[in-house]
Structure 1
Amino acid sequence: MLTNLGIEDKIKDFIGEQIPNDIIKQRDGGISNGKKIMLDYISGSTCIDKLNSIFEYGWDWEVTEHFIQKSVDYQNKYMKEREMSPEPQPPVAHVFGILTVHLRDDKTGQFYDIKKTGCGSKVIIGKANDQKDIFKAASTDALKKAASLIGVGLDLYRDANEQYYFELLLSRDKQNNFLRNYSDEEKKLYFDSVNYLQELTESNNDIDGDSMLSLLMTWSNNKYNDFNTIPPKELNNFVTYIKQGIGDDK
């Protein structure tokens, strides 16, 4: 049977965590409809810090290709043809690379790699001293792009509605995937308890994935902070605790 990797909820939470406003940087994004646009971004060091925090330094970055592209001359499409005078543009350095994050299965000890490809670029301007690190800058740009495909810093590109939808998906994912590390035999053995928890989160608007996790941590005195860490033999006790809390005598 095909299944997903079963990535821990805490990793998903770290990835989905919004970037604090005080470390978000801005750069000039040009003019649109007569208005100046400012684009949000994170620095390369922030991206690296985020990757280190999420994957505990278990990641690699490999540059696979780099080259310099001659730019096409700029022509202002709003000018009359007879007034057009193409403006030469500086060349651009491009870098392609692969970000690899390493995940370990706690049960088997087996490692799994997730790879994302990113491309980055940097306009070549200035004197030699400005140009000497051009591929380094383009590589950092490519790394940030690859990291965004995992979700790092992706909140900078979402509007309010998209962020709400993302948080909704994250909450539903927690509901649908808790206890995913139980074997089929364990799920059969504790079928009633597993089924009860799943039905409760799907039918009760007051108890979502986050609320259920909070109940688990309270019941276990913070011993278990993820549904995939609770031993099957203690599952029935947890369900009894919930039933007593909500007055469910079934």
Structure 2
Amino acid sequence: MKRDLLEQPFTTEQIKQRAGSFGQTLDYIEGHAVIKRLNDAFDGQWSFQVRSHDVLEAEVIVLGELIASNISKSQFGSSAITKAKNSGEIISLADDLKAATTDSLKKCATMFGVGLHLYSGQSAQPHKRLQSQHQSPTPPGYASEDRDSNNSSYDNSTKGNGGNGDNGNGGNGTSRLSNKQYNYLLTLGTNHGLTKKDIDQKAIGEFGSAVAYLSKNDASTMIKLMLSN
């Protein structure tokens, strides 16, 4: 076991950000980066198994076990169930389970020291508080950021089209929406008398994922649709 490598902080480029609760921006590491760190630290001699899973009304929960150097670490992972707006049908339970599995793997890896610095306030990039949805309807600099889609920040624990897959850097608008896009969509929803749940359902019906997991291009399209209504 190469403990120094396991606990080595990730670089700024490897640390992504997503919207969290109460307007916070949370740092996270993509699933493929965690897998690579485990491969490097254990020379590929590790395994991960799903011990059990549960499908609840609104989320799936996975109990996973990571084994390396004869040491076993277990943690739960979870993912919200993505449903179509109009029918309420589940879009892909398999993707939701994969998302929860990746979440479980990453949490198990933290028990070996992988990414622990993100939990200790030593992140390579500071948290930024998201703008309140009750602030100005058009966030400063929104238009220029919407046109520039070069940043990739998609978590392997989110779902491919909103699902469970890593998106690489490509500058093609497939990276996850920016904080400004996210807050602007919430503001537009408020202006239309919609709750956060209503906006998520609208996004799921149109693009197959909740607002927080839209790509930049999809977020831009959704903004245009809401502005035209």
User: Which structure carries more helix by proportion?
Assistant: 1
Bigger relative contact order, structure 1 or 2, given CA contacts below 8 A and separation 6+?
2
Bigger-Rg structure (1/2): 1
Q: TM-score, normalised by structure 2?
A: 0.49
Q: TM-score, normalised by structure 1?
A: 0.45
